[in-house]
Structure 1
Amino acid sequence: MTEIQTPLPDLRCQLGEGPFWDQHSQTLYWVDIIGKAAFAWKPAQNDLQKWTFNSLISAIVPREAGGFLVALHRELAFFDPASGNLTPFVAPDADHSENRSNEARVDPMGRFWHGTMQNNIGPNGEAVAITQHSGTLNRVDANGKMTRFCENIGISNTLLWSPDGTRMYFGDTLANRMDVYDFDMASGMASNPRLFCSVEGRGGMDGSAIDQDGFIWNARYGGSCIIRFNPDGEIDRIIDVPVTNPTSCVFGGPDMTTLYITSAADDTDGTKPLEGALLAIETGVAGAPCHAFAG
């Protein structure tokens, strides 16, 4: 189960993030935030596409109406891959000009959840110190209506929903905690946050995937591993990976049992040859599906 594959051996990302699996088209999407690029890869054909942008980009998700919704530095926009055109949509965090997009996921009803953080990337990709907890968490409905749920976030990471739709998970890396919320799927309301998990000594909490049994697979930035938590927030297993900074993961493949893991070459000493690569693990466990944006 823990044999690590490198399906795109020549590809490296400075800050790979935001993996999304489209089960209908059997396509994996992800981004390179620092590299200002988005990727689409069909494993069956080994067909890789790359799009570049003039802005940091932290997420790309398909739209039910066609094309994509992308989370750029300070705004969300619609992206038409055929023409390359970007159409501004909404800016959920416009009242915090110091922030950038970071975490994003679509809930099972097609609403886009957008987490931000103080921008820590300079104009040439250089690191900028984080000096404040200015991040926010916002929900964007299909019609563009925005609802804010959290403020004072250090680094927004992990957005997930339990298979039965009654729980939402969201974390703050700087606070070293992932919280679980009661979730009302019909209204899209999250409430009653409480600690789900907090781990010392295995890197920082980054992005996650959830399987159909409700176990959470969390990438540990700086920790060279994936930690699988059971539904009670207890460590179920630790899977070592050959990169320093795994950043996020998603289930994909025909049976939804392949865990695809993004990683970052940035903030490493360069001694591990796979830093920034896309990794894959056959888990034998089916993951929960990703969802397109309903707008």
Structure 2
Amino acid sequence: MNQSLVFHSNSELLEGPVFDIDNNYLYFVSIFDYLVYFYDPQTKEILSIKLDSPVSCIYLLEKKKVLVASKNGFYEVDFNTLKKKYVFQIDIKSSVRYNDGIKDPKGRYIIGTMGYPEVQKNLGEVFSYENGQFKTIIKNTTISNGLAFSEDYKWLYFIDTPTKKVAKYTYDINTGEVVFVADVISFIGEGSPDGMCMDKDGMLWIAEWGGACVSQWNPNNGEKIKELKLPCTNVTACCIDNHGNLYVTTAKSDSVNDIYGGGLYYLEIDKI
């Protein structure tokens, strides 16, 4: 595996990498810097736009234009013009902020919440937003994190980090409703599951907070396939690019030796 540090700017918590396969661009956020980033792997250009509250999740709209979830609402961010505009807000509690999210093929925005500024048990929820209306689809979460669909969109996988499990739900593409099926993956080591994505083979890549790695799992039998180590403790999220490789975001830790936490990495997994 070839591994490279793509970006590092002393961020406390990088999160939410999303790759635009059609245009070959990467987007990610620095949550507590309120920053949304654009990265062009071809030219190495990096752009950023600052919002007015913690940011967490990015949804692709069109070329160099994204929808970004911040505590104070969802904003359209245009990297063509470097401008932003408020679009909508969900009626969330003042004691929570948004965290990971995903969009379904019907255009529904699915997003989880967690306690902020303090994490509180079972205070979070997972919402589905469509055409100005929203509903709760998963209740009583603590740190809502990774969300991933199966290729046919019949299943939704979800991580509530403190449970150290990946849960599987049926997903009704017509109504957006979910029904819990089972916990299909369990973590027993130091790492706790954070963000995740699914590869072309239906395997889940999961960032491990506290585990200094991303790991690949089979959601059909719960078996761990492999893990790829990183030089920092807190690994937050990952996404797959148009070459089948991984972009991985990380966060700082309390370790004095962790000088690369808060960086963005590129892992060439096709060279394993």
| TM-score where L is the length of structure 2 | 0.92
Kept after mapping to 2: 8 A contact 1:68/1:79: yes
- Are the structure 2 counterparts of residues 76 and 21 from structure 1 closer, same or farther at C-alpha, using a change threshold of 3 Å? same
Deviations 1:265-288 (A, max 9, x none): 2x3324123111111111229xxx
Matches for 1:232-271 after TM superposition, within 5 Å = 232=220, 233-253=222-242, 255=243, 257-265=244-252, 267-271=253-257
1:216 aligns with 2:214: no
Instruction: Return the alpha-carbon distance in structure 1 between the equivalents of residues 152 and 100 of structure 2.
Output: 22
Matched with 1:4 is 3
Aligned residue number for residue 48 of structure 1: 46
Letter in 2 for 1:160: A
| In 1: Cα distance, 2:72 partner to 2:124 partner | 12
Q: Does 1:113 align with 2:110?
A: yes
Contact 2:2 2:269 (C-alpha < 8 Å) held by counterparts:
no
**Within the alignment, does 1:101 sit opposite 2:98 as a pair?**
yes
Pick 1 or 2: higher relative contact order, CA cutoff 8 A, min separation 6: 1
State, as a whole percentage, how many aligned pairs show the same letter: 28
State the AA in 2 paired with 1:245: N
Query: Who is 1:275 aligned against?
Result: 261
Q: What code does the residue aligned with 1:176 have?
A: K
Q: Secondary structure at the match of 2:33?
A: coil
Match for residue 122 of structure 2 among 126, 130, 133: 133
Is the 1:61–1:69 Cα contact (8 Å) retained in structure 2? Answer: yes
Deviation of 1:66 after TM superposition, in Å, equals 8.1
Q: Structure 1's 12 and 27: CA in aligned 2 closer, same or farther, altered over 3 A?
A: farther
8 Å CA contact 1:74, 1:99 repeated in 2: no
What residue is the counterpart of 1:124 in the other structure? none
**Secondary structure at 1:25 match in 2:** coil
Contact map agreement 2:193 2:206 (CA 8 A) in 1: yes
Q: Which amino acid in structure 2 is aligned with residue 250 of structure 1? A: C
CA distance in 1, matches of 2:46, 2:82: 18
- Counterpart of 1:175? 163
Contact 2:100 2:147 in 1 (8 A): yes
Unaligned runs of 5+ in 1: 121-127, 286-295
Q: Residues of 2 paired with 1:32 and 1:66: CA distance?
A: 18
Give the partner amino acid of 2:212.
Answer: S
Q: Unpaired runs of 5+ in structure 2?
A: none
Change in 2 beyond 3 A, CA 1:235/1:75 = same
Give the conservation status (yes or no) of the 8 Å contact 1:183–1:190: yes
Contact 1:29 1:61 in 2 (8 A): no
Greater strand content: 2
TM-score (normalizing by structure 1): 0.85
State the 1:3 CA deviation.
2.7
1:64 CA drift (Å) = 4.8
The two structures, once aligned, show a CA RMSD in angstroms of: 2.0
How far is 1:83 from its partner? 5.7
Contact 1:16 1:30 in 2 (8 A): yes
| CA displacement at 1:65 relative to structure 2 | 9.9
Query: Could you tell me how far 1:85 is from its partner in structure 2?
Result: 3.2
- For the 8 Å contact 2:147–2:159, the answer to whether it is kept is yes
* Residues 77, 90 of structure 1: 8 Å contact kept: no
Which amino acid in the other structure matches residue 259 of structure 1? L
The secondary structure found in structure 2 opposite 1:97 is coil
- Stretches of 4+ aligned residues off by more than 6 angstroms: none
* d(CA) in 1 for partners of 2:78, 2:42: 24
- Deviation of 1:246 after TM superposition, in Å, equals 0.7
Aligned AA (2:107): G
CA contact (8 A) 1:244 1:268 kept: no
Residue by residue, what CA displacement relative to the aligned partner does 1:166-195 show, whole Å, maximum 9, x if unpaired? 110011112222100112223322213311
**Equivalent pair of 1:248/1:262 in contact (CA under 8 Å):** yes
